[in-house]
Amino acid sequence: MKEVHILGAGMVGISTAIWLQRAGFKVTIIDQIGPAGGASYGNAGVLAAGSVIPITTPALPKNAFGMLLNKASPLFIRWPYLPKMIPFLASYLKHCTTQHVEYYARSMIPLLRDTVAQHLALAHGTGAESFVAEHPYGFGYDRREAYENDQKWWDLRAQLGIQFDVITGSDYGAIDPLFANQFHTVVLCHQHGRISDPGKYIRTLAHDFVEQGGRLRIGQITELVHTTDGLGYRVDDQIISPEHLVVSTGAWSRDLVKTVGLTIPFETERGYHIELVHPSQDPVNSMMIASGKFVITPLTDRIRAAGIVEFGGLELGENPEPIELLKTQVKALLPGVTFERIDSWLGHRPAPADSLPLIGQIPAIKNCWLGFGHQHVGLTGGAKTGRILSELIQGRTVDIDMAPFNPARFTKQ
């Protein structure tokens, strides 16, 4: 029986493990915390098939400095960390072009467009199936000008086959009374979905994986190691050299692959959420608040508001300012909702400078595969990424163009 070890028990790692297990592989997952210990837990729960516009639009360089100085803006930086980011920022801002936005969108749409079907296929026959459902996904604009500024990106989505309706805020209020008069314009996207509890969903998938004979190990992974059999890894001071190795450790992946010579312009985008626990009323659909760049979404027994981009690395703790900003904005948007308490969370999104995930074989190393860097769409694209990796490891041809995701693109810089 062929053996695969997967580093990381988030969405990508769990999906890869399950698809390989179903193909007859002996699979071990290793994670420092356990299933859904990071961004796979704290996301907005949206299966965002149409989220094909990166943060790096042409507007970002024009607006970024002003946003950083504006305490009501969704962009934050921990200023002592800035010097470490300068090489990354140079590459990151280089991608703020219309040409790159279009390239990104056309590259990502095959990975994201069938996300609901991919998650249903992954969860089929497990206890996790009940967490997945198709739902519309809204983008709420409080001003006409804000929608008009984004209209070219909606036109691009339409060209790529994303189906949506543009309606007035008052018409949306008839669909969801909780948002009766907060928006001027709402774009309601169809063929999207929602995971009702991302953390429980992934933990349930992991439980089924173990029940079917898979192995889950908790341990501290410190480096990748060249061995006589290929590439292995060090966990808790033990070197292990499996037949196949998959690196899917999210924001921690950059430092791991650097130990074997792959240098990626990559940062962590720190994201935050707050939760209104046991709310008196739920929204009907998940809603992206365009002005605040965060999503309000109904989950099991709570409303989660997730978003914000903060640059500050992996080591620093929570910054109270983004949390207070989310609290202020959510209370203003949902004034009639009462709740038991507010919980908060900080997590780390993996962000390559070109915003495209790394999916495929590590250059010049035959037994190591990468699956990380999905930025804001790890939940959405993670199920299909795992399926793709399982097919690549089996030597099969996949049905999408993998060139944009090829890790080898960073060996040419």
pLDDT in tens, 87-141: 999 999 999 999 999 999 999 999 999 999 999 999 999 999 999 999 999 999 9
Contact status, residue 40 vs residue 379, Cβ threshold 8 Å: yes
Average pLDDT over residues 197-201: 98
Contact status, residue 348 vs residue 271, Cβ threshold 8 Å: yes
* Overall size of the chain counted in residues: 413
What contacts 214, CB < 8 A, 6 or more positions away? 17, 21, 27, 28, 29
Domain limits for position 289: 3-411
What is the token pair recorded at 334?
């949902």
Could you tell me which of 289, 378, 349 has the C-alpha nearest to residue 108? 378
Average pLDDT over residues 232-236: 97
- In this predicted model, what pLDDT tens digit does every residue of 266-286 receive, in sequence order? 999 999 999 999 999 999 999
Residue 183 burial by Cβ neighbours in a 10 Å radius (0-12, 13-18, 19+) = buried
The answer to pTM > 0.75 is yes
The pLDDT, as a whole number, for residue 229 is: 86
The pLDDT, as a whole number, for residue 44 is: 98
Contact status, residue 330 vs residue 274, Cβ threshold 8 Å: yes
At residue 412, does pLDDT exceed 80?
A: no
- Domains identified in the chain, total number: 1
Average pLDDT over residues 317-339: 97
Check which CATH number belongs to the domain holding 28 and give it. 3.50.50.60
At residue 413, does pLDDT exceed 50?
A: no
